[in-house]
Structure 1
Amino acid sequence: MLEVANLEVVYNEVVLVLRGLSIEVPEGGIVALLGANGAGKTTTVRAITGLLDVHEGDITKGIVEAGITQVMEGRRVFAELTVDENLETGAFTVRDRKANAASYSRVMELFPPLQPRRRHTAGYLSGGEQQMLAIGRALMADPKLLILDEPSLGLAPMLIEQIRDIIVDINADGVSVLLIEQNAMMALSIADYGYVMESGKIVMDGEPKKLLADEDVQEFYLGLRAEGERRSFRDVKHYKRRKRWLS
């Protein structure tokens, strides 16, 4: 469904942000892209969706395929518009009224909390409801591939579980998903394959069981010490990377 091969991105003609990055999303699959702040995850998304020009970046190498919708980090709903008006903007490129009506019905089915708030101003919704609206708006375009950038960011654990289950439902409808996350446990619990980014390149990839069993992933992304004691990410002051991650 998506192939990004040897992608390089330079900001302001000086800063090399992505260095030979390659990822694949198979048709009908869910792929997780993990990485800490500054790893290059958002730049990867901007490269794939064509937003680099806005941020003064240039794709110098690589390929990008089309047919994609994106839910940006931080939700970015149109705060002054109503829920329905936000959803209408998502369907702007779809001219088939029946298809729009079917997409709208599916969004309301996936996100019941939005139903009684259809005429409410989006800026007054809760964070969880705004995330639902942002995903719903993306689905109105009837995508083949949905890119989700940090959908769990700032949400309570119960809402994170709901969003995770909704992603599974969306995938079951035949939509491929690229899930960009720092929440490794959530992402790998539903992904078919995962990539770990650091300093603009892929340093590890594999099936979720393999990544979850890795000591580095456990230490840095799950907050687990070797003896199994859980600790906060705030306590991780230095990431002791294995030599294979530095190659």
Structure 2
Amino acid sequence: MGKLTRRARAKADYFGTLRITRAGTGEEYDLRKAELTDTDGALRELSSSTLADLVGVSTVAFTSDGKLVTVRQSSLDSVSGLLLAPSGSGSLEPRDLRTPDGRPHRLLHGAIRAGMEREPCEESGLGPVDIRSTRLVGFARWMERGAKPEFFGLTELAVDSTEVARRRPVSGERLYSAGLTLFDVDLPAIGAALDRGVPLSGALPQRIWEDGSLPLLLALRAAAAWQAARG
């Protein structure tokens, strides 16, 4: 079947678990083996990947009174339908590469944080003035999405839970968001439990473990581990 076309590469991040079969011959193209790994079976470095490798960003935001903000995804969401998503979750966009005054970010971290703070403004109805700070707390590659690079953040909000509960997502996100759910989550306690060897399923609140999307679970794990490392 040869190399993927340019358009197929752009889509392949989302087809990472699929095998493609030619209808006439039955010939099978295993995208995971052909595109995600090298000849030794190791995961390809991003610099040598032939896929689009969109950069994923997810952040967990906490209100000024300590509540975790999650987004309930609608059934129309193709990745985490009917699950709880992080406060903001998506992919970097070209506008994230520049500062508000139009200059390019000097460091990758600046662009990552810009994307992380844009996403909750779209999905949770927050505004830039509602965000106090965002820290990068983790990185992974999502194998089911073509080993897409994913950065995780921890965002501190300047508004309380009562104010956040009044917000609504921007119009373009309303098809995919069914509203917000706020939780009491003790990150230091989760981090301490993970340090003791407690599995994530036992460290997180049951509702979040059962209904949380993969980005939410990983973002919370990364944020808890980051806080635990700070002592």
Fold shared, TM-score > 0.5 on shorter chain = no
TM-score w.r.t. the length of structure 2 is: 0.27
TM-score w.r.t. the length of structure 1 is: 0.26
